Amino acid sequence: MPATFDVLSLIQPSGDLTLGNYFGAVANWVRLQDEQRCLFGIVDYHAMTVPFQPSKLRQRTWDMAIDLQACGLDPERCLLIVQSLVPEHTELAWIFACITPYSWAAKMTQFKDKSRQVEAQGASYSAGLLLYPILQAADILMYKAAHVPVGGDQDQHLELARDVARVFNREYADIFPEPTPLHTEAPKILSPADPTRKMSKSLGSKHVIGVFDDPDVIRRKVKSAVTDTGDAPADGALSPGVEGLLTLLDVSGCADEAQGFREEYARGNRRYAPLKEVVGDALVALTDPMRERRAALRAGRKAVKRQMGESSARAREIARATLAEVREATGLPPLPQ
Ligand code: AMP
Ligand code: TRP
């Protein structure tokens, strides 16, 4: 069966985008939207699987819609949705939940990690957390997507989506193409405060640089980034912090400058202030237009909501068609027209 979308990927409305999210995911989506039929979106249902605040959930969902567009996703060039504005996702997730062995869900690494985290905060984890990857399978299979660009941490969930598709196709009707992960060589962006770890909001604010941080903040965080701690590595290799800064320069479109610094450092120069200066400038230059677009989109918040509603309504038509097939194959009655 033909894929409806070549590429599909979704992101949680988890607050401001970091440079890690941008270079690791969103920049790639922006590139793909001109090359393939793409669906991108914001998974607010997934954000409910751990304790959440209603007012924040809604705010962050609209903020993320704005931020993705400010980064360059264009609703004219890709289908951009809010998951819960296509409530059929939950219906398909329910049907999938009923054909998926419990043990497949219970063995997911992310479920084990997150359930432990929630318990450590003194709360009990929800049944939704267990169903998380099944909802993710519904997101993907609903649109018969061929490729799913995700970080390696999502491989297990993607494998589950493939398994669900296989079970459905075998037991009920051959409807779903098996989605494959799309591992483009997305760079790993490191924490400026601890470059042995990935940049991540869960580590704390000094570990992240936000795409929409003020230019001063970006420069300051780059300036205070950890480089060599004590002596430089003896074998002539660069320390993780220096590599991290060079990566930022590479991915900001300044690969030549990065190469220049690499050559100097290979000759034994260990001065990092000039590198930090250039990295700060490059990041600010790259993000300036995004900050501008974000301000404009925020000023027209209503229009963004309307537009997200319209594009989600278009997605809904595809979702309804898929569910009609699924209901037919599983013995549920067709919905009255
Ligand atoms: P998260 O909100 O952390 O689940 O990340 C959303 C997306 O951004 C995923 O596709 C991640 O792979 C990507 N991402 C997050 N942090 C980084 C990072 N430090 N380096 C590269 N990619 C990242
Ligand atoms: N679980 C994904 C993440 O945390 C988000 C997600 C939900 C997703 N549904 C998806 C990603 C469907 C790709 C396709 O990054």
> Which CATH number belongs to the domain containing residue 238 in this structure?
1.10.240.10
Which of 139, 160, 180 for mutating ligand 2's site (highest number of atoms within 8 Å of CB)?
139
Look at residue 183 in the predicted model and tell me its pLDDT: 84
Residue 314: CATH number of its domain: 3.40.50.620
Is residue 2, in this structure, part of any structural domain at all?
no
Q: Does the CB atom of residue 14 touch ligand 1 within 6 A?
A: yes
**296 alpha carbon, distance to own chain's centre:** 23
The bound ligand whose nearest atom lies closest to the alpha carbon of 154 is 2
Is residue 30, in this structure, part of any structural domain at all?
yes
At which residue do the structure tokens 């993907």 appear?
140
- Which of 56, 112, 114, 302 is catalytic? The answer is 114
Asked if residue 155 and residue 121 are part of one domain, the reply reads yes
Asked if residue 247 and residue 101 are part of one domain, the reply reads no
Largest Cα–Cα separation, the chain? 74
Look at residue 186 in the predicted model and tell me its pLDDT: 78
Asked if residue 98 and residue 81 are part of one domain, the reply reads yes
Cα 20 to averaged position of ligand 1 atoms, centre (Å): 5
Is residue 193, in this structure, part of any structural domain at all?
no
Look at residue 232 in the predicted model and tell me its pLDDT: 67
Q: Does the CB atom of residue 139 touch ligand 2 within 6 A?
A: yes
Q: Is 114 a catalytic residue?
A: yes
- The domain in which residue 228 lies consists of 201-294
> 222 and 279 in contact (C-beta within 8 Å)?
yes
Is residue 318, in this structure, part of any structural domain at all?
yes
Q: Does the CB atom of residue 46 touch ligand 2 within 6 A?
A: yes
Cα–Cα distance measured from residue 37 to residue 41, given in angstroms and rounded to the nearest whole number: 14
Cα 181 to averaged position of ligand 1 atoms, centre (Å): 15
Structural domain total, the chain: 2
Q: What is the DSSP string of 197-259?
A: SB--GGG-GGG--BTTS-HHHHHHHHHT-----SSPPTTSPPPHHHHHHHHHHHHTT-HHHHH
Asked if residue 246 and residue 139 are part of one domain, the reply reads no
Asked if residue 53 and residue 160 are part of one domain, the reply reads yes
The bound ligand whose nearest atom lies closest to the alpha carbon of 28 is 1
Asked if residue 270 and residue 250 are part of one domain, the reply reads yes
Cα 320 to averaged position of ligand 1 atoms, centre (Å): 31
Q: Does the CB atom of residue 14 touch ligand 2 within 6 A?
A: no
Beta sheet of 38-42, edge-to-edge order: 79-82, 38-42, 5-11, 145-149, 180-182
Packing angle of the helix pair 127-142, 88-99 (nearest 10 deg): 110
Asked if residue 151 and residue 92 are part of one domain, the reply reads yes
Give the Å distances, CA to CA, from 25 to 8, 15, 68, 124, 145: 12, 15, 11, 31, 17
Asked if residue 206 and residue 172 are part of one domain, the reply reads no
pLDDT tens for the chain, 337 residues: list them: 677 999 999 999 999 999 999 999 999 999 999 999 999 999 999 999 999 999 999 999 999 999 999 999 999 999 999 999 999 999 999 999 999 999 999 999 999 999 999 999 999 999 999 999 999 999 999 999 999 998 888 999 999 999 999 999 999 999 999 999 998 777 899 999 999 999 999 899 999 999 999 999 999 999 999 998 877 677 778 999 999 999 999 999 999 999 999 999 999 888 999 999 999 999 999 999 999 999 999 999 999 999 999 999 999 999 999 999 999 999 999 999 8
Which of 157, 158, 178, 200 for mutating ligand 2's site (highest number of atoms within 8 Å of CB)?
157
Q: What is the pTM of this model?
A: 0.95
